[in-house]
Amino acid sequence: MKYLIIIIMFFLSSFNINADDFHYNETVLINKGYTKFDPKIYYDTHILDDCYEKIFNKDRFEMIGFMEILFDDDGFIYNLYYLLEEEYKFIEELPNILVIIYLENEDKLYGYYKMNLNLEAEEEVSTTLGNLLIFY
């Protein structure tokens, strides 16, 4: 009986830790300027189209490239969207125009996005594709 109570307490405490991690991560993203969205309603392609229209004042026509990056310091997986040249290469002098991050809580997926409306770059990273400017 004593072991059953200990096991139940362990599972309850681990559930609270996971829920707290989600709320902490969500707070960090909101404080960094990310907007929360429901991926079942507002798809990443819709966000990308809206972002492109806000930056360039026209419907999306150019090819878009995608890259996932994981930074060790915060643990988020950043989904970065770039403009591509005709040869399907990233345009190195332009940073990504959009960032999307997904978090899961209680088997439900939540999305967070941030648009690079001023085409600013926060840092430059070296990849196998070349040096890329990153906004996140």
Measured at the CA of 113, the angle between CA 67 and CA 122, to 5 degrees, comes to: 65
DSSP annotation string for 22-60: HHHHHHHHHHTT-EEE-TTTS-HHHHHHHHHHHHHSS--
**Mean pLDDT per segment of 10 residues, for the chain of length 136 residues?**
45 46 92 95 92 89 87 86 86 93 93 96 85 91
Distance CA 41, CA 55 (A): 23
Among the listed residues 118, 79, 81, the one whose alpha carbon sits nearest the alpha carbon of residue 96 = 81
pLDDT at res. 120: 94
pLDDT at res. 118: 94
* Two structure tokens written together for 15: 């559930």
Distance CA 24, CA 14 (A): 15
For the whole model, what pTM was predicted? 0.80
CA distances to 11, 68, 86, 111 from 77, rounded to whole Å, are 27, 6, 27, 12
